[in-house]
Amino acid sequence: MANANGPARVLVVDDSVTVRRSAELFLRQGGYEVVLAEDGFDALAKVGHQRPDLIFCDVMMPRLDGYQTCTILKQCVTYADIPVVMLSSKDGVFDKARGKIAGAADYLTKPFSKKEILFAAASSTMATVAGSGGPYADTKNSDR
């Protein structure tokens, strides 16, 4: 996936090294440039320097959780247009609703496959280009 300046840049925020590395591998194979962050504070610092086109953000993290991180980003005019896809092992209606309230464009349930994360990335970056926000669909259980 590319934008006018080259490959789309994706920030992956997760306190699990395994999840970060899996997402990085899948996204790089899909043609994305990938930046990694280990928690919400690290993500906020990297958003300012890297200006990603998309953010995958884990819900459960120490110090600053994914919902808080997403809310902070969406309240900042400079970064509010960057789509955020929440990552979580929880797939309940309440968890998804909380992500939507925080401003997330989509919600991806862990563990995710290469196909699922690439679909979520493509959907979120295309929706941003089209100006429609994000699909905020259950990408884990949708037909692709």
The answer to whether position 26 is within a domain reads yes
Mapped onto helix, strand or coil, the DSSP state of residue 36 is strand
pLDDT at 138: 44
Q: Left if phi > 0, otherwise alpha if psi is -120 to 50, otherwise beta: which for 44? A: alpha
pLDDT at 142: 43
**26 membership: H or E segment, kind and range:** helix 17-29
The answer to whether position 48 is within a domain reads yes
The answer to whether position 125 is within a domain reads yes
pLDDT at 133: 44
CA distances from 47 to 53, 64, 102, 129 (A): 10, 15, 17, 19
Task: Write out pLDDT tens, residues 10-62.
Answer: 999 999 999 999 999 999 999 999 999 999 999 999 999 999 999 999 999 99
Specify burial of residue 123 (Cβ count, 10 A radius: 0-12, 13-18, 19+). buried
Task: Write out pLDDT tens, residues 60-104.
Answer: 999 999 999 999 999 999 999 999 999 999 988 999 999 999 999
Mean pLDDT of the chain: 88
pLDDT at 134: 45
Contact 45, 4 (CB under 8 A): no
| Number of structural domains in the chain | 1
What pTM value is reported for the model? 0.86
Tokens of 20: 């970060």
> Does a cis peptide bond (omega within 30 degrees of 0) precede residue 111?
yes
CATH number of the domain enclosing 122: 3.40.50.2300
The answer to whether position 101 is within a domain reads yes
Instruction: Residue 112: give the domain boundaries.
Output: 2-130
